[in-house]
A = this chain, B = another copy of it.
Amino acid sequence: MLRKSLPSWTHPKILCRQMSVVARSLKYTQHGEPQDVLHLVEDQLAEPKNQQVLVKILAAPINPADINTIQGKYPVKPKFPAVAGNEFVGEVICVGDKVKKLQPGAHVVPLATGLGTWTTHAVYNEDQLMAISNKVGLAEAATITVNPCTAYRMLKDFVQLSPGDTVIQNGANSAVGQAVHQLCKAWGINSVGIVRNRPEIAELKKMLECLGANAVLTEEEMRTSDIFKSGKLQRPKLAFNCVGGKSATEVSRHLNDRGVMVTYGGMSREPVTVATGPLIFKDIAFRGFWMTRWSKENYSAPERTQMFKELCQLMEQGKFVAPTHEMVPLEKFKEAAAAALSFKGFTGKKFILEMSC
């Protein structure tokens, strides 16, 4: 207890003299399919100095944006040779002598993108990292900065929601979709999820309802549903779209007057089609959201700190769990990347690389 009350600069520090290690990293030197261009490479890391921190990566998820970046289909282009991956949870091993806020043993997650996280160890600057409570589960911590933050911001930044309001989304079983249902439940907001029909639809519905969805409907069921007409739920003020095409049109059709549809993905590769009538007469707005941009523009904003605080609290309380996922050893990256590439992968489960060295 005594140590806890001491100011951080009095903590004993493990400095980084002769603490450099060999990192095994998934690197690529040209764009292409991950299983073709990624190679497991060993590098001797330089000794961390000044504000640098040596981190042992514990887990790093494979996000759709990581795959698209490797393929060269993402607006963010790495400098080659590059270590793939953007998200992780790691443990601080030792710190440079000018590091002020992080101690060895602390769990950290990235504040910046493009750090190259599919690796066993990495040296980052202190200000690229955020300490996260060790009480937050590894899978939750490893996936906190992209999907839960996307859900959080989309729920906060487009319309003013109050308890009892409704949110509707397609791709409701995506990682963001699962986060939306959980945040809605925590905040007293009704959420309706649309998913594609599939053999195991009953289990999927049950899983999403357990996360907090008030109703989960297939695209076909949604077309004839009277869930809003009947007054069972209020018409949605807010819709999230990660599919596009007919699915997006169907979702936007249910929006209330002045409703907003936010697009954050386009899994079907079809554009969003917007009828003129709802735009003009119902004042429906069509917006987009990109977490990477928001994080850059709000790097040190109090809204960002508040968001992480709130998400961590929910995670510690067990009210927010990681999306359906499978932990995969780093060595199995080819299988995991190939599976993550498939349409099923994007909407099925998230693969999280586990570094075991």
Is the CB of A124 closer than 8 A to any CB of chain B?
no
Partner of A279, one of B276, B281, B283, B287: B287
Partner of A281, one of B285, B286, B290: B290
* A290 CA / B281 CA spacing, docked (Å): 6
- Chain A residues 263 to 303 lying within 8 A of chain B, measured CB to CB, are 263-266, 271-290, 293
Per assembly, the copies of the chain total 2
Majority SS of interface residues in chain A? Answer: mixed
- Classify chain A: how many residues form its interface, as a range: 20 to 34
A-B contact pairs, 14 of them (CB 8 A): A244-B276, A266-B276, A271-B273, A271-B275, A271-B276, A272-B276, A273-B274, A274-B274, A278-B288, A279-B287, A283-B288, A283-B290, A284-B288, A285-B288
A244-B276, A271-B273 are known; give 5 further A-B pairs, CB within 8 A. A264-B280, A265-B276, A266-B277, A271-B274, A286-B287
Partner of A280, one of B279, B285, B289: B289
User: Scoring A residues 242 to 256 as 1 if CB is less than 8 Å from chain B, else 0, what string do you get?
Assistant: 001000000000000
Chain A interface residues (CB < 8 Å from chain B): 75, 244, 263-266, 271-290, 293
Residues in B with CB closer than 8 Å to A281 are 75, 288, 290, 293
Q: Report the minimal beta-carbon distance from A298 to chain B, rounded to whole angstroms.
A: 14
* A271 CA / B282 CA spacing, docked (Å): 15
* A68 CA / B249 CA spacing, docked (Å): 25
Instruction: Tell whether A286 pairs with B279 under 8 Å between CB atoms, given A271-B273, A274-B271, A274-B274.
Output: yes
Query: Are A285 and B283 closer than 8 Å at their CB atoms?
Result: no
